[in-house]
Amino acid sequence: MAESREIFVAFQGGESVTSIARRLRVSRPTVYRAIEKHGRPGNPALDSARVTIRLSPEELAALDVLSGRMGLSRSALGRRVLRLAAGFLEPDPEMVEAMTDLSRQVKAVGGNLNQIAAHLNREALLQGRASPNKDQQAQIEASERALKALAKDIDRLFVHAAKRRKARVDAILRKGDGA
């Protein structure tokens, strides 16, 4: 499942099907199935518009160097830059890693809460009542604190990171306009 999602994210990021298949050592049909599973890319003729820009030979060479360094096609690189400038979330490997860690933490807290609930349910069935003891109450409060901390981490990761990225791109665009 994680590999399937990784395939889709890589494809949405502009990596070619062949490149994804080679990197993950899977077949091209496997890559296509993962892409379809997480959302068909659609029919480009109907779902997108072609945008043409003129570049000097030096600009084109710089674009090709950057697209080669990033492993993206010219089109995918242009799309990525425009999406970043417009404020779309484009997760980088660092963000994907952070989200994977946050997901693991949330699952651990959920497991702890599930164990507490199961214990209280057993107690209710056996004794006709269920009231958490001091240890259970402490675990519940610790879980609540952990969830609030995770919510702050998620907010910082997405909201603030997206704002910082957009500000950087806006500054670059202003600089390019001679402003």
Q: What was the pLDDT predicted at 78?
A: 85
Residues 125 and 150 in one domain: yes
Q: What was the pLDDT predicted at 45?
A: 44
Q: What was the pLDDT predicted at 92?
A: 67
The pTM (predicted TM-score) of the whole model is: 0.38
Q: How many domains does the chain have?
A: 3
Residues 10 and 75 in one domain: no
Residues 121 and 105 in one domain: yes
b/e code 121-134 from CB counts within 10 Å (16+ = b): eebeeeeeeeeeee
pLDDT band at 168 (very low <50, low <70, confident <90, very high): confident
Please answer whether residues 74 and 64 qualify as being in contact, where contact means their C-beta atoms are separated by less than 8 angstroms: yes
Residues 102 and 170 in one domain: yes
Instruction: Check pLDDT > 60 for residue 61.
Output: yes
Domain hosting residue 68, numbered range: 49-90
Residues 101 and 168 in one domain: yes
Q: What was the pLDDT predicted at 104?
A: 80
When mean pLDDT is compared across 42-46, 90-94, 111-115, 153-157, the lowest value belongs to: 42-46
Residues 156 and 136 in one domain: yes
Which CB contacts under 8 angstroms, 24+ apart, belong to 97-106?
98/157, 99/157, 102/150, 102/153, 102/154, 102/157, 105/146, 105/150, 106/147, 106/150
Residues 3 and 77 in one domain: no
Residues 84 and 146 in one domain: no
Residues 99 and 168 in one domain: yes
Residues 112 and 156 in one domain: yes
Q: Which percentage of the chain shows pLDDT scores above 90?
A: 7
Residue type at 175 in one-letter notation: K
Q: What angle do CA 93, 94, 96 make, to 5 degrees?
A: 60
Residues 100 and 166 in one domain: yes
Residues 36 and 63 in one domain: no
